[in-house]
Amino acid sequence: MGNENIVLLSSREIDKMRQAGKLAAQLLDHLGKMVKPGVSTYEINQEAERWTKEKGAISAPLGYGNPPFPASICTSINEVICHGIPSKNQILKDGDIINIDVTPIVDGYHGDTSKTFFVGNPSPKTKKLVEVTEECLYRGINAVKPNGRIGDIGAAIQEYAESCGFSVVRNFVGHGIGRVFHTAPQVPHYGKKGTGKKIRPGMVFTIEPMINEGTWEADILDDNWTAVTKDRKLSAQFEHTIAVTKEGVEILTVDK
């Protein structure tokens, strides 16, 4: 996740992150309209790449990491926690859930956001998981205060998720972001209030809780990317990129 030197962004850089965040939010909204039974994740990926290029931006996931990620977005269906790879063979079915994770690069800066969408009509149990996960994201964001601690975020998320009978993924965390896709600090979605690095104005990072129906444990598939729940029960995720300000917190991945 990069070294532990946390870079504080200037107001000019945060403005750049706002632009990247706005484009990310628009892209996610655009792709969300495609989510319906019978659509392949490959089609959603191709549209993401076309749209991103049309706007003069670059898809950060494409070619990222080792092995290089082979697509422009992550599409994580049902038991897939994160890093699902779009495929022509993966056709959305009624009752599925899909997390779409996008990260366009605009003028050198990364906008990173994701959302879990319903395909057709979800079961009540599925609906509850997704609603709790979205609430976890906002509880995490609301826990961000200047001079607070990174652990405050995870504590707020874990407390709520577990009180609703769900579990919090430990293997993947939020992260610092700016010109670099993944950097310090790491932002766990579980933990103890009052622990971890101090939160300071100028910090920009993602909060992206992954909440599971059953166990929090994960398996990585043979493609070395796709993470699935160990018990193959459902997982949901929501993500925003946020900036810490003197007043509190600003969500950057919004269309405004």
- Over the stretch 149-183, which tens digit does the pLDDT of each residue have? 999 999 999 999 999 999 999 999 999 999 999 99
Query: In this structure, is residue 39 part of a structural domain?
Result: yes
Angle in degrees, CA 36, 222, 134, rounded to 5: 40
The CATH code of the domain that includes 136 is 3.90.230.10
pLDDT category at 143 given cuts 50, 70, 90 is: very high
Average confidence (pLDDT) over 86-104? 98
**What pLDDT was estimated at residue 4?**
65
Query: In this structure, is residue 87 part of a structural domain?
Result: yes
Query: Which single residue is written with the structure tokens 């990260």?
Result: 103
User: Nearest 10 degrees: CA dihedral of 21, 116, 209, 162?
Assistant: 150
Query: In this structure, is residue 256 part of a structural domain?
Result: no
Q: Of the ranges 1-10, 39-48, 159-168, which one carries the lowest mean pLDDT score?
A: 1-10
- Percent of the chain having pLDDT more than 90? 97
Average confidence (pLDDT) over 58-87? 98
Contact in structure between 84 and 101 (CB atoms under 8 Å): no
Does 250 belong to an annotated binding site? no
- Selection from 212, 206, 239, 238 nearest residue 227 by Cα: 212
DSSP H or E stretch at residue 109: strand 109-110
Per the structure, the complete domain to which residue 188 belongs is given by 11-251
User: What are the CA-CA distances from residue 107 to residues 23, 41, 111, 117, 233 (Å)?
Assistant: 11, 27, 11, 29, 39
Does 112 belong to an annotated binding site? yes
**What pLDDT was estimated at residue 83?**
98
Query: In this structure, is residue 72 part of a structural domain?
Result: yes
Query: In this structure, is residue 1 part of a structural domain?
Result: no
Does 217 belong to an annotated binding site? no
- Selection from 226, 2, 41, 58 nearest residue 119 by Cα: 41
Q: What is the pTM of this model?
A: 0.97
The pairing of strands 183-187 and 174-176 is: antiparallel
pLDDT category at 42 given cuts 50, 70, 90 is: very high
Q: Please give the tally of structural domains in the chain.
A: 1
**What pLDDT was estimated at residue 5?**
87
DSSP H or E stretch at residue 48: helix 41-54
Query: In this structure, is residue 2 part of a structural domain?
Result: no
Does 83 belong to an annotated binding site? yes
Please check the confidence at residue 2 and state whether its pLDDT lies above 50. no
Does 101 belong to an annotated binding site? yes
Eight-class DSSP state of 98:
E
Contact in structure between 194 and 227 (CB atoms under 8 Å): no
Please check the confidence at residue 256 and state whether its pLDDT lies above 90. no
Contact in structure between 122 and 95 (CB atoms under 8 Å): yes
